[in-house]
Amino acid sequence: MQGDMVSGVLLPLILAFIMFSLGLGLTVEDFRRIFTQPRALLVGVVCHFVILPLACFFLLTAWGMTGAFAVGFMILAACPTGSTSNLLTYLARGDVALALSFTAVASVATIFTLPIVVTWALGHYMGAARAVDVPVGLMMGQVALVLGVPVSLGMAARHRWSDWAQRFEPRATRIATVLFVLIVVLAVAKNWHLMGDNFATLAPFALLLNLSMLAVGFTAAWAVRLSRRQSITLGIETAVQNAALALVIGATVLQDDAMAIPGALYGVIMYVGGLLFALTMRRLQPATTA
C-alpha cells in the first residue's frame, strides 16, 4: 500500500511541481525565438528525438540488454531534456537562449513522441501483448497530464502574475531540485534489492549512453557549422534527460518498478558526465565569446 502511494500519488505530484517550475521560466517569446535560429533547433530536434532513441536501441542491442530494463532505457531516451540542462548550459558558457527554447519545444513535442517510442519498446522487448495493454492514445493522455498541464499552468502563472513568478522562480527551481533528488531516493529505496543486483550492469551502460550523447550532440552541431556556444548547448540538451518523468512513466503509468530503475540511475549518473563536460567547456570557452 505504501509503495502504491509513492508510485501513484507522490511521484506524479512531485513531477507536476517540477514541470510547473519549468513553466515559470518559459514564455511565448521562448517559442518565437526558435524561428530566429531554426538551424540550431532542427539539429537539436534530430539529435534528441531521432539519434538519441536510435543510439540507445543500438547500444542496448550491442550490450545484450533486454526485458524491462531495456524498456526503461528506451523510456529515458524518449523523455524530453531535463530542466537542469539550462543550468549546465550556463555553467558551460553555452547558448542559454537556445537551451530555453529547446527545452520548451522538447517538453511539448514529447507529449506526442514519447508514447510512440515507449509503445514500440514494449512490443519489441516485452512482447506484442504487453504493448496492446498500453495504447498510444491512453499513454499520450497520461503524459499530457503529468507533463503538458503543469508546464502550461506555470507559463500561465508567469503571464498572469509576472512579478510574483519571477520572484518565485529561483526558489521553485531550488525546491524542484530537492524534489528531484527525493524522487531518485524514493525510487532507489523502493527498489533497493533490484537496483543492487543489477548496478554493475546498468550503471556502466547509463554512463556510456550519457557520454556518447554528449559527444554526438556536440559533434553534430559542430559538423553543420553551428557556433561553439550552440554546439555546447546541443551536446548538453541531447544527453541530459528528464529522469523524473522516466521514473513516473515506469513506476506509475506502466506500473513496473524495474522499468523505473534506469531512470533513477541515469538521473544521478548524467550529472557526472554533464558536469565534467560543462566544466571542461567552460575552461575552453572564453567568457566574452558571442
How high is the pLDDT of residue 268?
Answer: 77
Measured between alpha carbons, how far is 221 from 45 in angstroms, rounded to an integer? 11
Residue 147 within a domain: yes
Overall number of domains in the chain: 1
What whole-number distance in Å separates Cα of residue 231 and Cα of residue 234? Answer: 5
Beta bridge partners of 4: none
Burial class (CB in 10 A: 0-12, 13-18, 19+), 215: middle
When pLDDT is averaged across residues 153-157 and rounded to a whole number, the result is 86
- Exposure of 66 in the CB half-sphere (CA atoms within 13 A): 6
What is the model's pLDDT at position 208? 93
Mean pLDDT, residues 52-67: 93
The reported pLDDT for the residue numbered 289 is 45
Report if residue 270 sits inside a domain. yes
Domain presence at residue 289: no
- Of 110-124, 127-141, 152-166, 193-207, least confident by mean pLDDT is 127-141
Residue 159 lies in a domain: yes
Q: Answer whether residue 78 is part of any domain.
A: yes
Asked if residue 86 is part of any domain, the answer here is: yes
Half-sphere exposure of 263 (CA within 13 A, CB side): 37
Taking alpha carbons only, the member of 216, 281, 278 closest to residue 50 is 216
The residue segments making up the domain with residue 237 are 2-284
Max Cα distance, the chain (Å): 56
Instruction: Identify whether 290 is part of a domain.
Output: no
Maximum average pLDDT range among 104-118, 188-202, 215-229: 215-229
Q: Residue 19 sits in a domain of what CATH number?
A: 1.20.1530.20
pLDDT tens sequence across 4-20: 555 556 666 776 777 78
Neighbour-count burial of 149, counting CB atoms closer than 10 A to its CB (0-12 exposed, 13-18 middle, 19+ buried): middle
Flag whether pLDDT at 285 surpasses 70.
no
Tell me, yes or no, whether 181 lies in a domain: yes
* pTM for the structure as a whole: 0.72
